[in-house]
Amino acid sequence: MNTIINNIAIEKAKTSKINEVDFDNLKFGHVFSDHMLECNYKGGKWQTPVVKPYQPIVLDPAAKIFHYGQSVFEGMKAYKDVDEKVWLFRPLENFKRLNISSKRLAIPELPESYFMDGLKTLLEVDKDWIPKKAGSSLYIRPFIFASGNGFHASPADEYKFIICTAPSGAYFAGEVRVLIEEKYSRSANGGVGFAKAGGNYAGQFYPTQLAIEKGYQQVIWTDDNTHEYIEEAGAMNIFVRINDTLVTGPTSDRILDGITRKSIIELAKSENIPVEVRKITVSEVVEAAKNGSLKEMFGAGTAAVISPISGFGYKNEDYELPKFDDTYASYLKKRITDIQTNKAADPFGWRYEVK
């Protein structure tokens, strides 16, 4: 039976898969909730979103997503506190960035109400899928892709906006060792590095695989022109602590404006942690590692929030980072996750209650 919430039609799944799921042993992004949201763009406008049972998507072989890669996405999480209240973290930032990415790839921008009301409706329908175990969350994947057909190299005339969700346990990357890239680039000036475009990630896989074969888990991306400047860590923004100062590169055509990144910067400044947003040279990091002033390096992103780096390789030499308690990484991660899960006050207005 169909119902209506927030003016969005809902087609409920006949049966739920929830009782088949072991919520104590959830891998990241492997189990999917009962429903998804779908909204089609055709005839020059976005149609009304619909919540429907999670199911395969049927596409024509000539759909332009397969040929010209018009695809953008976001990553978000929903949390449930001890009082069963549901929370999001800065969702409007995800909406804004999705449209920034869409515009760069000539995808029609989405109305805010379709994103927010659609997301809230989907979470209301699948609220039982939001884990309550500490460290767990409901991972949310909004994405838009070209569904219109044709082999002509031009923007599609039809698109799909979909939101799928996946209950996930705590994301622990463990001891991450990284290789500073000297040949390959993630993005270039004038390119799409600042957008969350699917192709950005596809282009990372091969250089990352080469790094894995050398015994590392991830790549530190450097600038496309000189490879002298550190830019990102795998699929995450990167922070470097030199003595007591936290340093991260400025956003640009090449660097994603990460929501976790900007939250870390704002939080650190509020805690009187010295922060510098500036270009970071590889030589500066190597010299700091040699003279002992390099205290920490960590990646920042939605999945792990903060992922500490234990060491890095560069020009066939490995450098170890010191191990000590009370790191910026552990402190800032706890502060952010406590805000996200309603365990601490939110002086920034980042937390968004779904009701």
Query: Which residue is listed with tokens 């024509």?
Result: 60
Which pLDDT value is given to residue 172?
A: 65
Q: Give span(s): CATH 3.30.470.10, the chain.
A: 2-168
For residue 116, what are the CA distances in angstroms to 32, 88, 107, 120, 256? 20, 11, 19, 6, 22
Looking at the predicted structure, is the pLDDT value of residue 310 above 70? yes
Looking at the predicted structure, is the pLDDT value of residue 174 above 90? no
Task: Summarize the confidence of residues 286-298 as an average pLDDT.
Answer: 98
Cα 235 from Cα 300, distance rounded (Å): 9
Task: Summarize the confidence of residues 314-334 as an average pLDDT.
Answer: 96
User: DSSP of 238-303, one letter per residue?
Assistant: EEEEETTEEEEPPP-SSS---HHHHHHHHHHHHTT--EEES-EEHHHHHHHHHHT-EEEEEEEETT
- Binned at pLDDT 50, 70 and 90, residue 7 comes out as confident
For the chain, the average pLDDT equals 96
Q: Give span(s): CATH 3.20.10.10, the chain.
A: 176-340
Q: Which amino acid would we find at residue 285?
A: V
CA nearest neighbour of 70 among 112, 108, 110: 108
Q: Identify whether the C-beta of residue 166 lies closer than 8 Å to the C-beta of residue 32.
A: yes
User: Which H or E element spans position 102?
Assistant: helix 91-104
Bridge partners, 277 (sequence order): 248
Fold of 2-168: D-amino Acid Aminotransferase; Chain A, domain 1 (3.30.470)
176-340 CATH pick, 3.10.20.600, 3.10.310.30, 3.20.10.10, 3.40.50.2300: 3.20.10.10
CA nearest neighbour of 300 among 142, 131, 171, 148: 171
Looking at the predicted structure, is the pLDDT value of residue 175 above 80? no
Q: Identify whether the C-beta of residue 35 lies closer than 8 Å to the C-beta of residue 118.
A: no
Query: Which residue is listed with tokens 């949310």?
Result: 140
- Binned at pLDDT 50, 70 and 90, residue 252 comes out as very high
Which pLDDT value is given to residue 4?
A: 76
Cα 46 from Cα 26, distance rounded (Å): 35
Cα 49 from Cα 38, distance rounded (Å): 6
Return the number of other C-beta atoms located less than 10 Å from residue 162's C-beta.
18
For 270-289, the pLDDT digits (tens) are: 999 999 999 999 999 999 99
Cα 39 from Cα 116, distance rounded (Å): 13
Cα 27 from Cα 36, distance rounded (Å): 19
**pLDDT: is 230 or 2 the higher one?**
230
Structure tokens at 281: 């040279």
Task: Summarize the confidence of residues 50-64 as an average pLDDT.
Answer: 98
Q: Which amino acid would we find at residue 228?
A: E
Cα 42 from Cα 181, distance rounded (Å): 42
For 90-133, the pLDDT digits (tens) are: 999 999 999 999 999 999 999 999 999 999 999 999 999 999 98
Query: Which residue is listed with tokens 């790191």?
Result: 327
